[in-house]
Amino acid sequence: MPEEIKAHITGVVYQVTAKPGDRVQAGDPVVVLESMKMEIPVEAPRAGAVQEIRVKEGQTVQEGDTIAVLA
């Protein structure tokens, strides 16, 4: 069952560390956000395959925005 990974803060996408098709484990960073000069990783909540990345580096995201989908 697909699961959306959401931004837990408002910030700018600093780095996309996973791409569609990548296998990730719980706790692996999928995207790194920058907020208030700090880099904050957004981690996979469980093991699975990245189905979709919905953001690009440099894009501003709001808290609660879907940034990726985990299959």
Q: Give tens-digit pLDDT for 17-57.
A: 999 999 999 999 999 999 999 999 999 999 999 999 999 99
In which domain, by residue range, is 41 found?
A: 3-70
Per-residue model confidence (pLDDT) at position 23: 98
**Whole-number Å distance between alpha carbons of 71 and 67:** 14
Per-residue model confidence (pLDDT) at position 1: 85
Per-residue model confidence (pLDDT) at position 49: 98
pTM: 0.92
50 Rama sector, left if φ>0, alpha if ψ -120 to 50, beta otherwise: beta
Task: Specify the DSSP class assigned to residue 68.
Answer: E
Give the residue-averaged pLDDT of 7-16.
97
What order do you get walking across the sheet with 38-43 strand by strand? 38-43, 29-35, 11-16, 60-61
Domain CATH code at residue 12:
2.40.50.100
Count of domains for the chain: 1
